[in-house]
């Protein structure tokens, strides 16, 4: 197994759960080779359940570093190469960014139920049930409240989508995760509902259309980018992990 890991055949998965960020290294049969983790808790800030942005980075590094240490202790190997990486996380929620990649509002997690009115209005307009935890409900809630940040949105995504973007630079989501942001039709967002949403907010005069700020939808097996040099250092601040590792579409 030492040789297997040294040759870069192992696969890494990192899951951003509600109370723990879990890192798991597996072989190509799904057998667990090593694990790591980082505990975190959401906080209620100004009526919103959230996690601080710095915790994303601390948790990512923390979960990976404990897994790396587990690999070292079990196999006597310093983890440098991987066959693939996948990110998963809490679905839904709201993370809006400007064109510089700066977070415009605190992360609104799936636990928040503040977007009920917006969700009900979208449900009526779309003739399709929109739960209040969905990302589009949170965006519409911000619009209905005339929140100043909305005009500056360049893209918005989920937690798994954001971590994937940090590691690859790609603004994509797996189809399962994307279905918790906006209604789907086939393998993409519903064209009819995208048009309807743009009509709903047209009077606001925003410089964006909804298609432009949603992540691109991918299905399993599609190219979701590779780990960048910057992304590798976000995971492994010791600099041992090599860039260029393929990453699968992020899921929930």
Among the listed residues 105, 12, 103, 16, the one whose alpha carbon sits nearest the alpha carbon of residue 59: 16
* Tokens read off for 43: 């906080």
Return the sign of the alpha-carbon dihedral for residues 181, 184, 187, 188.
Answer: negative
Question: Alpha-carbon distance 142 to 139, whole Å?
Answer: 5
Burial of 76 (0-12, 13-18, 19+ CB in 10 A): exposed
* Tokens read off for 204: 């606001």
Model confidence at 24: pLDDT above 90: yes
pLDDT tens string 41-93: 999 999 999 999 999 999 999 999 999 999 999 999 999 999 999 999 999 99
Residue 81: per-residue pLDDT: 98
The stretch 93-110 carries a mean pLDDT of 96
Other Cβ atoms closer than 10 A to 92: 23
Burial of 156 (0-12, 13-18, 19+ CB in 10 A): buried
- Residue 118: pLDDT band with limits 50, 70, 90: very high
Other Cβ atoms closer than 10 A to 189: 23
pLDDT tens string 179-229: 999 999 999 999 999 999 999 999 999 999 999 999 999 999 999 999 999
Model confidence at 37: pLDDT above 90: yes
Residue 187: per-residue pLDDT: 97
24, containing H or E segment: strand 20-26
Question: Alpha-carbon distance 133 to 109, whole Å?
Answer: 8
Going from the N-terminus, what domains does the chain have, and what CATH number goes with each?
2-235 (3.30.420.40)
pLDDT tens string 4-22: 999 999 999 999 999 999 9
- C-alpha distances in angstroms, 183 versus 5, 69, 157, 178, 227? 40, 41, 14, 8, 29
Question: Alpha-carbon distance 240 to 248, whole Å?
Answer: 21
Residue 249: per-residue pLDDT: 98
Residue 252: per-residue pLDDT: 83
Weakest mean pLDDT among 44-48, 62-66, 134-138, 151-155 = 44-48
> What percentage of the chain carries pLDDT values higher than 70?
100
Residue 96: per-residue pLDDT: 99
């Amino acid at each position: 197994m030492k040789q297997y890991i040294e040759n870069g055949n192992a696969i890494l998965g990192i899951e951003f759960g509600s109370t723990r960020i879990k890192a798991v290294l597996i072989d190509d049969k799904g057998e667990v080779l090593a694990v790591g983790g980082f505990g975190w808790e959401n906080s209620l800030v100004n009526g919103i359940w959230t996690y601080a942005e710095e915790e994303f980075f601390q948790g990512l590094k923390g979960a990976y570093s404990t897994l790396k240490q587990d690999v070292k202790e079990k196999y006597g190997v310093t983890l440098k190469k991987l066959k693939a990486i996948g990110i998963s996380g809490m679905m839904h929620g709201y993370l809006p960014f400007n064109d510089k990649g700066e977070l415009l509002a605190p992360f609104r997690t799936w636990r928040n139920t503040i977007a009920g009115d917006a969700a009900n209005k979208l449900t009526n307009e779309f003739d399709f049930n929109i739960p209040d935890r969905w990302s589009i409900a949170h965006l519409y809630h911000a619009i209905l409240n005339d929140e100043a940040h909305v005009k500056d949105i360049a893209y918005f995504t989920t937690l798994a989508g954001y971590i994937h973007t940090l590691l690859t630079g790609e603004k994509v989501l797996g189809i399962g995760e994307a279905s918790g942001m906006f209604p789907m039709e086939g393998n993409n967002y519903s064209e009819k509902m995208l048009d309807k949403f743009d009509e709903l907010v047209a009077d606001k005069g925003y410089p964006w259309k909804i298609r432009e700020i949603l992540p691109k939808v991918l299905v399993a097996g599609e190219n979701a980018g590779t780990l960048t040099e910057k992304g590798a250092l976000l995971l492994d601040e010791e600099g041992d992990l090599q860039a260029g590792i393929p990453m699968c579409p992020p899921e929930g």
